[in-house]
Amino acid sequence: MFKPLHLLLDRIVRRGTLVIETADGAIVSFGDGRPPRVSIKLLDSRLERQIALNPNLTVGEAYMDGRLVMREGRIYDLIALVLENAMHRPMPRWALTGDHLRYLTRRMAQFNPISRARRNVAHHYDIDGHIYDLFLDAERQYSCAYYPDDSCDLDEAQRAKIRHIAAKLVIDERHRVLDIGSGWGGLALNLASMTGCEVHGITLSTEQLAHAQRWAEKRGLGERVRFDLVDYRQLEGRFDRIVSVGMFEHVGVNHYRRFFERIGELLDEDGVALIHYIGRADQPAATNAFIARHIFPGGYIPALSEVLPAIERSGLIVTDIEVLRLHYAKTLRHWRERFIAHWDEAKSLQGEKFCRMWEFYLAGSECAFRYQNLVVFQIQLTRRIDTLPLVRDYMHEGEARTLAYERSHQMTQTARLAGE
């Protein structure tokens, strides 16, 4: 085995067992011989050098291309074994050279003018939408769910997330709401149906736009919910409430100040905004090389220290910050397990290589939330310091009211169906 790779794995993998069969048939083991046990085969002799020099990119691409084959366990087990060990024995500096270079050049990679932002969105979202039906909940919520307790399934947790957001926004039927990065429309449509408000959703994905518009008409909400293909930098008007879920990761560090300036310009004087996004619980870093190349080009997960200065300069007031710690790890586990269960269907839509790429993306993302200090932040913002009640009780009361409404509505629906 290539000596630097052997030294790297011998340094990191101390708990559990990693067995590697090299391209020339040699068997090399790392760890203490105890479970968990993961075994892989490298089909290309060049992989040893490539993994040692750029592990964050090479492992994913080798698995995607079929040059790294899992013998025992799935790709999640391999990533989890290495990253859990790396929490206690970090990688040496020479193995992270690529990450350091990406950090130094991140402003170029994350330069997202409107034209480039649209291309980046199309890369991930403007594919056959049936792929997303294979692993997301019934309403295609493609962001962190909220788990009030461990008994929640994915659909329940996504609905709990919507209730949680609605309560923080303090929405009622008088309000006009802007949803920045509205996706397939599930959040906007649920806010409208639960509270009676009007919602304007904006997206840069043509596929998501078409789906959201069809769904609004199908649910009879076409008059209260409107979706448009427009960048947040081009939008005009004023809104009582602004929400953005899972979009801020695509803004790019160069554009944070302009993003929050736009929130301030679009938000009414006594309005409330909520930004829900993936963040780092530690210091700023670079986007994972595999994610940047294959999944979310132009994307970045910021530390809180990179976001708050931009908010401060915008003139907005931070009224609440909540940190959702392992909620996204649980969400991603649900997604990954559902995707694997529908592997053959996904393969028929996009092919085997896509399936391995997607599995690596979901597995690596879950592990990042478990072992690499990724969290989800919900930042509540206002323009005036007296806009909201003084204590957070109103959030819990709002969630309780919405839950009661949902239960009574479901009971009514059930009764009507039973009588038909």
Per-domain residue ranges of the chain: 3-104, 116-419
Check for a shared fold between 3-104 and 116-419.
Answer: no
Closest CA to 99 of 377, 372, 375, 376: 372
* Separation between Cα atoms, residue 199 and residue 202, nearest integer Å: 10
Q: What is the CATH number assigned to the segment(s) 116-419?
A: 3.40.50.150
At residue 412, the pLDDT reads 42
> Amino acid identity of 251?
V
At residue 106, the pLDDT reads 67
Q: What tokens were used for 238?
A: 């004023």
CB distance 243 to 273 below 8 Å: yes
Q: Which residues of the chain have pLDDT under 50?
A: 411-420
Q: What tokens were used for 57?
A: 């990119």
At residue 116, the pLDDT reads 78
At residue 100, the pLDDT reads 64
The total of other beta-carbon atoms located within 10 Å of residue 270's CB is 12
Closest CA to 372 of 413, 332, 313, 317: 332
CB distance 328 to 362 below 8 Å: no
* Separation between Cα atoms, residue 305 and residue 297, nearest integer Å: 23
* Separation between Cα atoms, residue 138 and residue 310, nearest integer Å: 35
The pTM (predicted TM-score) of the whole model is 0.92
Q: What is the CATH number assigned to the segment(s) 3-104?
A: 3.30.1050
Closest CA to 216 of 187, 247, 258, 253: 187
- Catalytic machinery residues: 367
At residue 104, the pLDDT reads 67
